[in-house]
């Protein structure tokens, strides 16, 4: 046993081994321990076992999609969002460990945790929120509106019964960050902007009458609800509904969902709303962050 591992094990007791590994080891010590475990584990894997693992592991199978058509759709969406001022980013395959759990209500068990303080990206909007927080640190200022968009392959560990859903999938994501201007001006304006981009692109694949928009509102925020209902925006031209039952802690103030009607079934194809992640990341409750995402591979399957 090398000196680093000997030092690590000297800190740990057998009775509370897991808790102590998780809470008492420094980041470098934790990584060293896991790296050694995985190194030894890898030495036991034979080529036959590797082939069998590839065959059976749902996380590593290729996507069942038309790859060339997928790339064409991704480029189309990124270009259109760019015309609205969204800067397109190419994200890393991994995010800092606990990127979702630390700021939202996501259980870490739904995320594929990795080594060296990282996790496989399960939600690109969390990574884009971190980028906005870093932008603010480097260039503090309360007048700037920051917009980012990306298309990224996500991986989530929960099992889905729906054949339309898979362990890894492509999502188009947008985020807009900025400071509160009062009277919900930021929230209403950029909610309209996100939905306008999404609907304009969805209408290239679906009839407007085949789509349905639902807003989920916080019951205690009557002023925002009233302003949203009175506003004459892009959703006024389509079927939409306001529902006062937003009780989850993931979204703040409002969440929206866009459904496509396929064979008399409503399928959720887009989702978004206001979150408080950047408020936590930069330590300022006046900051606002609007996120949205569209399942491009799901959309492609439904188009067929």
Q: Where in the chain is the domain with CATH 3.30.930.10?
A: 68-303
The confidence score (pLDDT) of residue 122 equals: 93
Mean pLDDT across 241-266: 87
Q: CA-CA distance, 222 to 10, in Å (whole number)?
A: 58
Contact 302, 281 (CB under 8 A): no
Question: In terms of C-beta density within 10 A (0-12 exposed, 13-18 middle, 19 or more buried), how is residue 138 classed?
Answer: exposed
Average pLDDT, the chain: 88
Predicted confidence (pLDDT) at residue 304 exceeds the cutoff of 60: no
Q: Tell me the three state secondary structure of residue 189.
A: helix
Predicted confidence (pLDDT) at residue 241 exceeds the cutoff of 60: yes
CATH among 3.40.120.10, 3.30.930.10, 1.10.580.10, 3.40.605.10 for 68-303: 3.30.930.10
Cα 104-107-111 angle, rounded to 5 deg = 100
The confidence score (pLDDT) of residue 136 equals: 93
Q: CA-CA distance, 299 to 177, in Å (whole number)?
A: 27
Strand order in the sheet with 265-275: 87-88, 146-155, 168-179, 287-295, 265-275, 252-262, 211-217, 240-243
The confidence score (pLDDT) of residue 287 equals: 96
Token duo for residue 202: 């969805």
């Amino acid at each position: 046993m090398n000196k680093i591992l000997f030092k690590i094990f000297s800190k740990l007791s057998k009775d509370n081994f897991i808790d102590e590994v998780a809470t008492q080891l420094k980041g470098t010590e934790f990584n060293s321990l896991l790296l050694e475990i995985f190194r030894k584990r890898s030495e036991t894997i034979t080529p036959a076992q590797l082939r069998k693992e590839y065959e059976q592991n749902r996380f590593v199978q290729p996507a069942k999609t038309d790859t060339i058509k997928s790339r064409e759709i991704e480029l189309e969406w990124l270009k259109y969002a760019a015309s609205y001022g969204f800067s397109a980013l190419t994200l890393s395959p991994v995010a800092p460990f606990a990127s979702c759990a630390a700021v939202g209500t996501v259980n870490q068990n739904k995320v594929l945790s990795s080594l060296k303080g990282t996790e496989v990206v399960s939600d690109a909007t969390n990574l884009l929120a971190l980028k906005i927080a870093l932008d603010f640190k480097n260039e503090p200022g309360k007048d700037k509106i920051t917009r980012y968009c990306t298309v990224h392959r996500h991986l989530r560990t929960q099992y889905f019964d729906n054949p339309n859903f898979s362990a890894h999938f492509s999502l188009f994501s947008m985020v807009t960050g900025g400071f509160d201007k009062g009277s919900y001006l930021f929230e209403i304006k950029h909610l309209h902007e996100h939905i306008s981009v999404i609907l304009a692109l969805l209408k290239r694949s679906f009839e407007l009458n085949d789509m349905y928009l639902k807003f989920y509102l916080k019951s205690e925020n009557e002023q925002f609800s009233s302003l949203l209902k009175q506003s004459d925006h892009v959703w006024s031209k389509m079927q939409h509904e306001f529902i006062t039952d937003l009780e989850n802690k993931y979204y703040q103030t409002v969440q929206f969902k866009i459904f496509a009607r396929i064979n008399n079934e409503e399928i959720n194809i887009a989702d978004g709303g206001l979150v408080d992640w950047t408020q936590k990341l930069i330590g300022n409750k006046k900051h606002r962050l609007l996120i949205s995402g569209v399942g491009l591979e799901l959309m492609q399957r439904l188009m067929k």
